[in-house]
C-alpha cells in the first residue's frame, strides 16, 4: 500500500452524481479519487444527449421540491464558478388530460411550495405555442422559471472543479471488486491498480447492482431512445417554444426546443428495453420503435417538428421498483455509500445529490432529509 493509492473518499462512477460529489469533496480539501469505466462525459450511461429538464413543480412527488430548489441554486452557482453554460430558462410546459395524476401532483406540489405555475386550457396552449397540437380537453401547466440543464457541460464543469482542487481522476478503469474491512476502510480492485479509501461512494448508475451484489438492489437498467428532428427554427426555437413533457395514459414523453439549429429533441419516458449495461451500445434504429415511437409523438402533438431525423441516440435509465431514488449507507458497513435507481428523472438533482453525498461521506449525514430514499423501504 503506497501513500499515492490511499484516499479519504473514493467515488466509483464519475458521471452525473459522482463527478458532482467529487467536486464538492475536493473543494473541501478532502483527498478524493474518482474512478470511471469510461471517460466522462461519454455516451455509455445516462448523462449524454446535451440537455435535461429541470422542473420545480414536481409530478413525481411534492417531496422532491425542496431538493430541486437547492439543485437549481447549485446549478446557477456552478455556472458562475466556471466558463460553462449550464442553465437555460426556456420554461417547461406540462401537457395532458385534466385527470392526469402526474399533472395533478405537479399542481399540488406548486401549491404546497408556493411555486408560480400557470394553468392553461388546450386552446390557450395552441394559441400561445402554435407548434403544439393538443386536444381541447388537455391542460397545460407552464412553469416559466424552469428550463433545461446542459448535461454534458455540467459534467465538464464539475470535472474541472474537482481536478482544479486536487482530486485524482482515473478514467477507462472499470472496478472489478470492492472489499470492505472495518479497520482499514475499503479496498478497490481494478485491472490496473488497487486503491484504498476510508469511505467509498458508489454512483455507478446501471452498474450499481453488479458492484454491490450483496444488496440485491431492486433496479432495472433499461435502454432508451431519443431523437433530434428537423423543425422550423422560427416556430421551435427556445424563444418561441418551451421545454416540455407530455403525460397521457399511453404517451409519456419529454422534449426540448430547437437549440441552435440542432433540431427539436424528443424522447419517450415510458417503454424501452431491459438490458445488461455491459451490452449497451449506440445502436439507435436497432428496433423499429426507436424512431417509430418518436414519430408517433411528433405526429400527435408536434406535427410541425416531424421533419428529417437529424440524430438518434440511446441511453440508459436505471429504474427502481417504485421509480424513486435509492440513496443510503450500506446496511452492514457505513464505509460504503451508494446512490442509484434515478429512474429517468435524476439528472436535475445531480448538483444537490453531489452536495449531499459529500456530506454523507464527511459528516455521516446529509443536511437535507433523504430518508424517503432509504433502501429499507423495499424490505431489504
Do 143 and 172 fall into the same domain? no
Q: Tens digits of per-residue pLDDT, 324-335?
A: 999 999 999 899
- The DSSP bridge pattern shows strands 175-181 and 92-97 to be unpaired
Q: Classify each residue of 58-74 as buried b or exposed e, where b means 16 or more C-beta atoms within 10 Å of its C-beta.
A: bbbebebbebbebbbeb
Cell numbers at 7, concatenated: 484516499
Residues in Cβ contact with 290 at an 8 Å cutoff, skipping those fewer than 6 apart: 225, 227, 284, 312, 314
In this predicted structure, what is the pLDDT of residue 249? 83
How distant is the alpha carbon of residue 212 from its chain centre?
Answer: 21
DSSP state letter for 326? E
Identify the domain containing residue 205 by its residue range.
Answer: 3-46+152-217+323-378
Do 156 and 206 fall into the same domain? yes
Do 115 and 256 fall into the same domain? yes
Do 113 and 190 fall into the same domain? no
DSSP state letter for 151? H
Do 115 and 224 fall into the same domain? yes
The total number of residues written for the chain in this structure: 380
CATH number of the domain residue 167 falls in? 3.50.50.60
Do 342 and 203 fall into the same domain? yes
Q: Tens digits of per-residue pLDDT, 70-100?
A: 999 999 999 999 999 999 999 999 999 999 9
CB neighbour class for 190 (10 Å; exposed up to 12, middle 13-18, buried from 19): middle
Residue at a domain's end among 299, 320, 341: 320
Residue at a domain's end among 298, 320, 342: 320
Do 170 and 301 fall into the same domain? no
Whole-number Å distance between alpha carbons of 236 and 258: 5
Contact 187, 178 (CB under 8 A): yes
Do 102 and 209 fall into the same domain? no
In this predicted structure, what is the pLDDT of residue 139? 98
In this predicted structure, what is the pLDDT of residue 255? 98
In this predicted structure, what is the pLDDT of residue 224? 98
Q: Is 78 helix (H, G, I), strand (E, B) or coil?
A: helix
In this predicted structure, what is the pLDDT of residue 1? 56
* DSSP element (H, E) containing 283: none
Question: For the chain (length 380 residues), average pLDDT per consecutive 10?
Answer: 81 98 98 98 96 98 98 98 97 97 98 98 97 96 98 98 98 95 83 93 98 97 98 96 94 96 97 97 97 98 98 98 98 95 98 98 97 94
In this predicted structure, what is the pLDDT of residue 181? 75
Q: Is residue 159 part of a domain?
A: yes
In this predicted structure, what is the pLDDT of residue 278? 97
Do 104 and 13 fall into the same domain? no
- Residue 277 — φ and ψ, nearest 5°? -60, -25
Of 94, 192, 206, nearest to 140 (Cα)?
A: 94
- Report the number of distinct structural domains present in the chain: 2
Q: Is residue 161 part of a domain?
A: yes
Do 97 and 141 fall into the same domain? yes
In this predicted structure, what is the pLDDT of residue 5? 84
Amino acid at each position: 500500500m503506497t501513500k499515492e493509492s490511499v484516499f479519504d473518499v473514493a467515488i466509483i462512477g464519475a458521471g452525473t452524481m459522482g463527478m458532482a460529489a467529487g467536486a464538492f469533496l475536493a473543494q473541501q480539501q478532502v483527498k478524493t479519487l474518482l474512478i470511471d469505466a469510461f471517460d466522462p462525459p461519454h455516451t455509455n450511461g445516462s448523462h449524454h444527449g446535451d440537455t435535461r429538464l429541470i422542473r420545480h413543480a414536481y409530478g413525481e412527488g411534492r417531496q422532491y421540491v425542496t431538493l430541486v430548489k437547492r439543485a437549481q441554486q447549485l446549478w446557477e452557482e456552478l455556472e458562475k464558478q466556471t466558463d460553462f453554460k449550464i442553465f437555460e430558462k426556456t420554461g417547461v410546459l406540462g401537457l395532458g388530460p385534466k385527470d392526469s395524476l402526474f399533472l395533478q401532483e405537479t399542481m399540488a406540489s406548486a401549491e404546497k411550495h408556493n411555486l408560480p405555475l400557470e394553468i392553461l386550457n388546450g386552446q390557450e396552449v395552441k394559441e400561445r405555442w402554435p407548434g403544439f397540437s393538443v386536444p381541447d380537453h388537455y391542460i397545460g401547466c407552464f412553469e416559466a422559471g424552469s428550463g433545461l440543464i446542459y448535461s454534458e457541460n455540467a459534467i465538464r464543469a464539475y470535472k474541472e472543479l474537482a481536478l482544479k482542487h486536487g482530486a485524482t481522476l482515473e478514467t477507462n478503469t472499470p472496478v472489478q471488486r470492492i472489499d470492505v474491512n472495518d479497520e482499514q476502510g475499503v479496498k478497490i480492485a481494478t485491472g490496473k491498480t488497487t486503491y484504498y479509501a476510508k469511505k467509498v461512494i458508489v454512483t455507478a448508475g446501471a452498474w450499481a447492482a453488479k458492484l454491490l451484489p450483496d444488496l440485491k438492489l431492486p433496479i432495472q437498467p433499461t435502454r432508451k431512445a431519443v431523437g433530434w428532428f428537423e423543425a422550423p427554427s422560427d416556430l421551435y426555437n427556445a424563444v418561441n417554444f418551451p421545454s416540455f413533457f407530455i403525460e397521457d395514459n399511453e404517451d409519456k414523453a419529454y422534449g426540448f426546443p430547437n437549440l441552435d439549429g440542432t433540431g427539436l429533441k424528443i424522447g419517450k419516458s415510458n417503454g424501452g428495453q431491459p438490458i445488461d449495461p455491459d451490452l449497451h451500445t449506440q445502436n439507435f434504429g436497432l428496433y423499429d420503435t426507436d424512431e417509430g415511437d418518436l414519430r408517433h409523438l411528433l405526429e400527435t402533438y408536434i406535427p410541425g417538428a416531424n421533419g428529417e431525423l437529424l440524430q438518434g441516440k440511446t441511453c440508459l435509465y436505471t429504474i427502481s421498483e417504485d421509480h424513486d431514488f435509492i440513496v443510503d449507507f450500506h446496511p452492514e458497513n457505513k464505509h460504503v455509500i451508494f446512490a442509484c435507481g434515478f429512474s429517468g428523472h435524476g439528472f436535475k438533482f445531480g448538483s444537490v445529490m453531489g452536495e449531499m453525498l459529500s456530506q454523507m461521506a464527511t459528516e455521516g449525514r446529509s443536511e437535507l432529509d433523504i430518508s424517503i430514499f432509504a433502501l429499507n423501504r423495499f424490505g431489504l
